[in-house]
Amino acid sequence: MNIVVIGAGAAGLTAAATLAKAGHNVTVVDHNQRPGGVLSGWDKNGFTWDLGQLLVEGFGKDEAIGEILDSLGIYDQVKTIRDDRRYVFPDFSVDKPQEYGGLTWRMKYLKDIFPEDSNGLDRYWKDFKRFTRLMTIVRKLDHTSGLLKWWWQIQLYVSLLPFITRQKWSAEKLMDSYFSSKKLQAVFISILADFFTPPSQFMGLGVFALNAETSFDSRVEKSLGRNCDQIYMYSLLGGTRTLVDALVGCIHQNGGVMKLGCDVTAINIVNGYVSSVETNEGESIPADIVVASGAAKETFFNLVGKNQLEAEFIKEVDDLPLMDSVFMVHLALDYDPAVHTGGVCTYYYGTYDIEGGIVEAKQQVYHQGKQGFVVHLPTHHSPQMAPDGYQSMTVYTICPDSLAEGDWESQKEQFTDQLIKYAEEHIPDLRGHVIDRVTLSPPEFRELTQCSHHAFGGLAPVMGKSGIKHQTPIQGLWFVGQQSEGGGGLANVIPNAYKTAMEIKNTL
């Protein structure tokens, strides 16, 4: 079968590699000269930086993404190291102890700071273990069949019972049920700023998934009990580009074709079925199947055309809840700041009002780093990402795609200076050690991702909303990636693109 994959990001490359390995004629088309999308990284004068996906989950050989890479024959090509992240708040920080303090060290530490919420922390921990068991059973269901699958379905139902009354709770309501301190609540929900989703709109039970103890200390045991396993976080050694190279190599090895620096201008539909795609090079590529990744509006409204779509589906695309963008500064340093950052990935917060900060950003007001930012130091594990004796570092923060006042281009240098100043409050004399810098703002990310609205993480995980289904109303047209029903982030994008490709394979 002739299959065209639009977009060479994580989702497109995963689907393409899976289908090429299954023996189909696969052509991948992407606007950029280099594959990978936001995983392609950035280079300048011997320095390399990642554009996101700083710590990734599920890359262990017995975890979701690791199993997929293994099935594609490329697991050994993607080198990883277990890793964790550090949180710094205005009045305290969450630092893993130098000597491992056991599975519950973070709970004990938080009890010392917030003794009034000790009981709430005990209740949270009990429910966290219940939720971890629930998710472990969900993963087991993906690998079983017959009577064993029936058994795990019963166990799933039993594990769901403690959460039945809280299924529709928001993160805000869930946190209020455990803790009186807003500062303590921020420890568990501050990560929602990454998703541009206020706690009042985020599914409460999702908070447990975002706070695996392994993400705060890579030494934490995987198992919390019988059938109760956590997932680890990882750094990709050499940067995210190593994953891209492995997937592209798999595509080429299995006869797939990569057409880079090429734009798809139309997806042709004949009698409700895809027939071919047109490119800006004047080529018409025959297609029995088209797998599109990327932005939903650009795919369905521009490439397919509203005249081919039902009104209900058009409304679904129009109503997609999307994240916004990021303001990202890459720094080339002549010293090692790790003594100050405490590791490879540190989240710095300037506020405990997570709801207010996100709402303000959604109103197109950019905080310039005052409310928080992330520092990523890839050379902490991957010294090859900078010349000998130097370090690569990225400072970034969420920002609106468009500004209520002014524009990004005219204010970019001013915003860059301000973000570095905020970072210097935690990393002394940072500016004195910057030998070069590169800034990426929403316009650059729009160009990279070929969209009119840059949503850095894709679909915003708003309660009651979902992305576009993988199997679209157009016969032969499938949709994967961050704006699909699978949601954003590598932990969702890669497994869902793989499952979609396997579904396509099984229907052909």
16 to 299, 331, 462, 505: CA distances (angstroms) = 18, 34, 29, 11
| Residues 213-253: tens digit of each pLDDT | 999 999 999 999 999 999 999 999 999 999 999 999 999 99
C-beta of residue 387 within 8 angstroms of C-beta of residue 47: yes
94 to 62, 184, 186, 187: CA distances (angstroms) = 29, 11, 12, 9
| Residues 425-479: tens digit of each pLDDT | 999 999 999 999 999 999 999 999 999 999 999 999 999 999 999 999 999 999 9
Q: Where are the domains of the chain?
A: 2-53+240-320+459-507, 82-236, 325-449
CA torsion, ordered 462, 497, 258, 272, to nearest 10 deg: -80
Helix (H, G, I), strand (E, B) or coil at 252: helix
3-state secondary structure 380-392: HCCHHHCCCCCEE
The overall average pLDDT reported for the chain is: 96
pLDDT for res 377: 97
Contacts of 321 (CB under 8 A, 6+ apart): 459, 460, 462, 465
CB atoms within 10 A of CB 229: 20
CATH architecture of 2-53+240-320+459-507: 3-Layer(bba) Sandwich (3.50)
Given 3.30.519, 1.10.3470, 3.40.50, 3.10.450, which CATH number is that of 325-449?
A: 3.30.519
| pTM, entire model | 0.96
272 to 305, 424, 465: CA distances (angstroms) = 12, 57, 27
| Residues 388-398: tens digit of each pLDDT | 999 999 999 99
| Residues 366-376: tens digit of each pLDDT | 999 999 999 99
C-beta of residue 491 within 8 angstroms of C-beta of residue 57: yes
Let me know how long the chain is. Answer: 508
Cα separation, 352 vs 375, in Å, equals 19
Cα of first residue to Cα of last residue in the chain, in angstroms, is 8
- CA nearest to 192, candidates 206, 213, 174, 179: 206
- CA nearest to 244, candidates 475, 420, 490: 490
Model confidence at 53: pLDDT above 80: no
Phi-psi region of 429 (alpha: psi -120 to 50; beta: other; left: phi over 0): left
| Residues 3-40: tens digit of each pLDDT | 999 999 999 999 999 999 999 999 999 999 999 999 99
